[in-house]
Amino acid sequence: MARTQQWQERERWPEAWPDEREPEDPYPYEPRPIVNPYAIVALVAALLALFPVAIVFGFIAFSHPRGRVMACFALLLGAAEVAAVAGFFVLSGNMLPDTVSRANQATATTTAQVTTVATTSAPTPAAPPPTTAPPTSTVPVVRKGEACTAVQAGLIGAASDGGTLLCLADSAADDGYQWSGPYNVGTGVYEAGAKCDSSVAKTGRTSDNRALVCETQSRTPAWVLWTE
């Protein structure tokens, strides 16, 4: 009888578990999340090759209590993608100078071949011979001591014995000039007033058969008519 009454009282007043939340607490109890959204975003970004997003959200995901393994995997994928992109740019930078140098070498070879063909097909004109031809005017046959004029000053003549005579100034002559000699006159043809080198030639002649002498007393040695 006593047991039955006690059971009825328990059914009438069921036992209630005490509420863990305080009545004055304004924030309700929030259950712990099952998944880590940052880790999911990081993994999806890594699979889509968006490695900047994967790396950023991977680091953020470590602040969440769950999904750290997934975040670590996303970080590894992002780091591998960064290494792949960096290696691609490094290899491209090394290959570009080689390609440019090969193109330059090919262009230089083609240009050299074209130049060689053009040079072979076009003959080079022969260089003119040096001016060593004898004078064009005829050497007159004269006699030593014979008078000559001022117009003939410096003119080269030939004696009967083959010696070289010159029409030079002489105060004892009637016209002030007479054939004197013999002299040794170089066969080189030069122009009066041109520069000369006495170590190469001291005397020469013009194209109209007049004698020249290398005057070295001036500042610049030059060819002058041999009249004295």
**Rounded mean pLDDT, 159-184:** 85
Neighbours of 75 (CB within 10 A): 22
65 in any annotated domain: yes
To the nearest whole percent, how much of the chain has pLDDT over 70?
66
54, two tokens: 């994967």
Q: How sure is the predictor about 133, in pLDDT bands with cuts at 50, 70 and 90?
A: very low
Q: With 60 as the cut, is the pLDDT of residue 200 above it?
A: yes
103 within some domain: no
Burial of 74 (0-12, 13-18, 19+ CB in 10 A): buried
Higher pLDDT, 115 or 142: 142
Cα of 3 vs its chain's centroid, Å: 113
Who's near 191: CB < 8 A, 6+ residues apart? Answer: 206, 223
Q: Where are the alpha helices (DSSP H) in the chain?
A: 2-12, 37-47, 51-61, 68-121
pLDDT surpassing 70 at residue 1: no
Tens of pLDDT, residues 27-63 = 554 555 567 888 888 888 888 888 888 888 888 888 8
Dihedral sign, CA of 142, 147, 148, 154? Answer: positive
Residue 204 lies in a domain: yes
* Alpha helices, H only, 136-228: none
Does residue 134 fall inside a structural domain? Answer: no
In a domain, 31, yes or no: no
In a domain, 117, yes or no: no
- Residue 117: per-residue pLDDT: 46
Mean pLDDT of 127-152: 70
Q: How confident is the model at residue 214 (pLDDT cuts 50, 70, 90)?
A: very high
Reply yes or no on whether the pLDDT at 10 is more than 60.
Answer: no
Structure token digits, residue 99: 């390609």
What interhelical angle do 51-61 and 37-47 show, nearest 10? 160
Q: Which of 16-25, 43-52, 84-93, 169-178 has the lowest mean pLDDT?
A: 16-25
User: What tens digit of pLDDT does each residue of 69-103 get?
Assistant: 888 888 888 888 888 888 888 888 776 666 666 76
Average pLDDT of every residue of the chain? 75
Quick check: is 198 in a domain?
yes
The whole domain housing 75 covers 37-89
**Distance in angstroms between the alpha carbons of the first and the last residue of the chain:** 178
Question: What's the domain count of the chain?
Answer: 2
Residue 192 is assigned to a structural domain of this protein: yes
> From CA 149, how far away is CA 172, in angstroms rounded?
13
Contact 213, 154 (CB under 8 A): no
Q: What element of type H or E holds 205?
A: strand 203-205
Residue keyed to tokens 């000699």: 181
Burial call 13-33: b when 16+ CB within 10 Å, e when fewer: eeeeeeeeeeeeeeeeeeeee
Indicate whether 128 pLDDT > 50: no
Q: What is the pLDDT of residue 201?
A: 87
Q: Write down the pTM of the prediction.
A: 0.39
More confident residue, 158 or 24: 158
Do residues 84 and 154 both lie within one domain? no
Mean pLDDT of 124-136: 47
Tell me if 23 sits within 8 A of 50, measured CB to CB. Answer: no
